[in-house]
Amino acid sequence: MKARAWIMLVLAVAVISMSGCKKKETPVKAPEVKPEAKEIGQMSANKESFGKTPDGKQVDLYILTNNSGITAKITNFGGIVVSLEVPDRDGNLADITLGFDKLDGYLGEHPYFGAIVGRYANRIGKAEFKLDGKVYKLAANNDENHLHGGIKGFDKVVWRLEDIGVNAEGAMVKLSYISQDGEEGYPGNLACSVIYTLTEDDKLKISYEAETDKKTVVNLTNHAYYNLAGQGNGDILGHELTINADKYTVVDEGLIPTGENRNVKGTPMDFTTAMTIGSRIAQVEGGYDHNYVLNSGGGTLALAVKVHEPTSGRIMEIHTDQPGVQFYTGNFLDGSIKGKAGKVYQKHYGFCLETQHFPDSPNKPDFPSVVLNPGQKYATQTVHRFYTK
Ligand code: BGC
């Protein structure tokens, strides 16, 4: 009898401890890598070394070129667009993005030059949000708020090369990154990928994908600073800008949306018809740093922005399926950064147009949702089209 009682006791303990055991989350796996450089005609996708991180990780530079001579150089450190050479109306190439010649520059402090920003681009108020009643605390790296994914966001990690080559669409490179459950305070293992494709018809497409194993929030963008006259070549105030947005999200002094979407009509915020960036910037305290509510509403690829630089004739159109775009005029550039070719970046030497979901959406139930559930796929696209006049 005694032995039977013991066996029953051991079985009962085993059953109780098994049922109490937390189900192990299986991290989402990245697909196999088969890097390979191929060339078709003049269109090419090649890889070279860009150096090593302080902890010894290899960093590469991927060079995508098309038949018009457009060259995009991208690194797997932060998924950064290191340079983008585009012809002017006479065919002369200039690098139109701000940044550094060497990896060292990107390893130091810099304002997200060319980088992929995530897990959540732009700000989350008070560095926290709630999902299903649970509060998630994030790093407060912008006063009391959370900015661009935290202290070590997607801009500061080494992405993995998934694929490089020339396909039917153009010269491409695919990078991936798995953000661990709890990283920077966010829930869920998030498997992300970004594909840069340079097409024959002078478009640079950026496609983002992500999947999670736990409910989370996602908002990915690219934070390139542009000067269509050439990087370091003066300020951007003479660029003519059109933004297809009748409204913008009004913000408080910490740049967190108040929840009001205000009409741009009759204000310095109005770029519904082409206006130079500098024409009314003095009336905007601190310069432009605002999220525009795109008229397309997001969901399908639509023309969001057009920028024309009259001296070079270069034009950049931005098409996106995102509901918003952050228009930022490099207000915090102050001449303290020496960038590519020894150029010093002064205030307003570059502008950013970060296609995105609205800032602080995790705390704003009326804004388009940024929640990603297990089994769903986050898939968005932004296309930059270049031509001249
Ligand atoms: C933000 C700015 C910030 C800049 C660089 C932009 O996306 O809106 O407020 O200063 O990024 O961090």
Q: What string of DSSP letters covers 168-230?
A: SSEEEEEEEEEEPTTGGG--S-EEEEEEEEEETTSEEEEEEEEEESS-EE-B-EE---B-TT-
Q: Is the CB of 326 under 6 A from ligand 1?
A: yes
Ligand 1 mean position, distance from CA 331 (Å): 9
**The dihedral of CA 228, 229, 230, 236: what is its sign?**
negative
What pLDDT does 4 receive?
52
Distance (Å, whole) CA 51 – CA 65: 21
Evaluate: CB of 112 within 6 angstroms of ligand 1: yes
> What is the rounded CA–CA span in Å between residue 37 and residue 358?
37
Testing ligand 1's pocket by substitution, the residue of 123, 154, 284, 332 carrying the most ligand atoms inside 8 A of its CB is 332
The reply to whether 146 belongs to the active site is no
Half-sphere exposure of residue 374: CA atoms within 13 angstroms, side-chain side: 11
What is the Å distance from ligand 1's center to 332 Cα?
8
Kindly report the protein residue whose alpha carbon is nearest to atom 8 of ligand 1: 289
Q: How far is the CA of 350 from the centre of ligand 1 (A)?
A: 12
User: Which one of the listed residues 146, 223, 290, 384 is annotated catalytic?
Assistant: 223
The 10 Å Cβ neighbour count of residue 368 is 15
pLDDT of amino acid 36: 46
Question: Which residue minimizes the CA distance to atom 12 of ligand 1?
Answer: 111
- Does the annotation mark 239 as catalytic? no
Q: What is the spatial distance between Cα 201 and Cα 213, in angstroms, rounded to a whole number?
A: 38
> What separation in Å is there between the alpha carbon of 122 and the centre of ligand 1?
7
| pLDDT at residue 371 in the model | 98
The whole-number pLDDT of residue 20 equals 37
Which strands sit side by side in the sheet containing 257-263, from one edge to the other? Answer: 257-263, 247-251, 289-293, 324-328, 352-356
Q: State the distance from the centre of ligand 1 to the C-alpha of 327, rounded, in angstroms.
A: 9
Considering only CA atoms, which residue is closest to atom 4 of ligand 1?
A: 111
Whether 350 lines ligand 1, by a CB cut-off of 6 Å, is no
Compute the half-sphere exposure of residue 27: CA atoms within 13 Å on the CB side of its CA.
13
Averages of pLDDT over each 10 residues, the chain, 389 residues: 46 40 43 46 91 98 96 98 98 98 97 98 98 97 98 98 97 98 98 98 98 98 98 98 98 97 98 98 97 98 98 98 98 97 98 98 98 98 98
Q: What's the pLDDT score for residue 240?
A: 99
